[in-house]
C-alpha cells in the first residue's frame, strides 16, 4: 500500500487538501442525499377532514394515507354521536409528512353531570342564559297566571320537577313554567264610562289592571276626554293584570302612561 509522503511542504499541502475534500464530500452527502431521503424531503400529505368519523373508520382510513392518530382529549357534545371525532390537529388541509400523527378530540359516550341551578323567580331570558352557561338546554315554556310576566315559577327535567342542587346531565332540556303577567284572582271590571280619561285611567290602574287601547270617537254631545265605552264592560269578570280598552271623545293624547 502506497503511503502519502509528507517529507516536503508540498506533500503536506496535498495531504491536507485531500482530507478537506473528503470532509466536504461527507457533509454534502449527508445534507443533500441521506437527510432528504430519511425525512422524505419534499413529500407531503394533505390532512383530511376527520370530523364526525368514528374510531372504527379511522384506523384503515389513515393507514391508507400513511398517517397515524392519537386520541388526546374527550369532550361531551349535546346531540353529538358518541365515539366520533369532534376536533383534530393539525387542521384539515394542512400539509404534513408521511407517518405524521393526527391528534384527535373524541365525543364522550356518557354526559358529565352538573348541579341544577335555581331558576325560580328569575326571568325566562336570564334562565336561558344560565342554562346555556352550564351546558343545559332551554326546553318548552308553559305560561300560567301570575303577575310576574316571564318570571320562572317552576322548573322541570324529563317530565319531573327538579329542585335546585340536584345532579343533571349536560345537554338535558329544562322546561319552565313562567308567569303570563296576569294574576289568578278574578273580579268585576270597574265602571269607567262617563269619567274623564285621567280619572278612568287612575281607577283602572288602581284596580291592578292596565289601560289598553284608547280609541278616539267623535261625540259632540260630550266633553272632550270623556270615556264613552269600555271593554270588558263594567261588571264582567276580569283577572288582575289584564287590560281595559276605552273609547274616548276627541283626539288621543299621550300624557298618560298606558303601559302601567
What is the per-residue pLDDT across 130-159, written as a single tens digit (0 to 9) for each? Answer: 999 998 999 999 998 888 889 999 999 999
* Termini Cα distance of the chain: 116
Q: Which residues pair with 46 in a beta bridge?
A: 95
Q: From residue 29, how far is each of 25, 133, 150 by CA, in Å?
A: 6, 60, 78
pLDDT given at position 216 = 94
pLDDT given at position 257 = 46
The span from the CA of 31 to the CA of 33, in Å, is 6
The span from the CA of 108 to the CA of 112, in Å, is 9
The reported pTM is 0.50
* Each residue's pLDDT tens digit, 69-82: 999 998 888 778 88
pLDDT given at position 181 = 83
> At residue 122, what are phi and psi to the nearest 5 degrees?
-85, 160
More confidently predicted of 174 and 182: 174
pLDDT given at position 77 = 82
Helix (H) or strand (E) holding 238: strand 237-239
Percent helix, strand, coil in the chain, to 5, is 25, 35, 45
Amino acid at each position: 500500500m502506497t503511503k502519502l509522503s509528507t517529507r516536503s511542504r508540498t506533500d503536506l499541502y496535498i495531504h491536507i487538501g485531500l482530507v478537506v475534500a473528503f470532509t466536504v464530500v461527507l457533509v454534502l452527502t449527508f445534507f443533500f442525499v441521506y437527510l432528504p431521503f430519511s425525512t422524505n424531503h419534499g413529500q407531503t400529505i394533505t390532512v383530511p377532514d376527520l370530523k364526525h368519523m368514528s374510531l372504527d373508520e379511522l384506523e384503515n382510513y389513515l393507514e391508507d394515507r400513511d398517517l397515524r392518530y392519537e386520541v388526546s382529549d374527550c369532550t361531551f357534545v349535546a346531540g353529538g354521536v358518541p365515539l366520533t371525532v369532534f376536533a383534530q390537529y393539525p387542521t384539515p388541509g394542512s400539509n404534513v409528512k408521511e407517518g405524521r400523527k393526527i391528534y384527535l378530540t373524541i365525543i364522550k359516550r356518557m354526559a358529565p353531570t352538573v348541579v341544577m341551578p335555581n331558576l325560580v323567580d328569575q326571568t325566562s331570558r336570564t334562565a336561558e342564559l344560565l342554562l346555556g352557561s352550564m351546558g343545559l338546554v332551554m326546553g318548552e315554556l308553559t305560561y300560567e297566571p301570575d303577575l310576574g310576566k316571564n318570571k320562572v315559577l317552576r322548573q322541570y327535567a324529563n317530565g319531573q320537577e327538579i329542585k335546585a342542587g340536584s345532579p343533571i346531565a349536560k345537554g338535558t332540556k329544562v322546561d319552565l313554567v313562567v308567569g303570563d303577567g296576569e294574576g289568578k284572582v278574578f273580579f268585576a271590571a270597574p265602571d269607567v264610562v262617563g269619567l274623564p280619561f285621567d280619572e278612568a285611567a287612575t281607577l283602572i290602574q288602581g284596580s291592578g289592571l292596565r289601560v289598553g287601547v284608547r280609541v278616539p270617537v267623535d261625540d259632540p254631545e260630550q266633553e272632550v276626554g270623556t270615556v264613552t265605552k269600555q271593554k270588558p264592560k263594567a261588571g264582567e269578570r276580569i283577572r288582575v293584570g289584564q287590560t281595559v280598552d276605552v273609547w274616548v271623545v276627541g283626539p288621543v293624547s299621550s300624557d298618560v302612561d298606558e303601559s302601567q
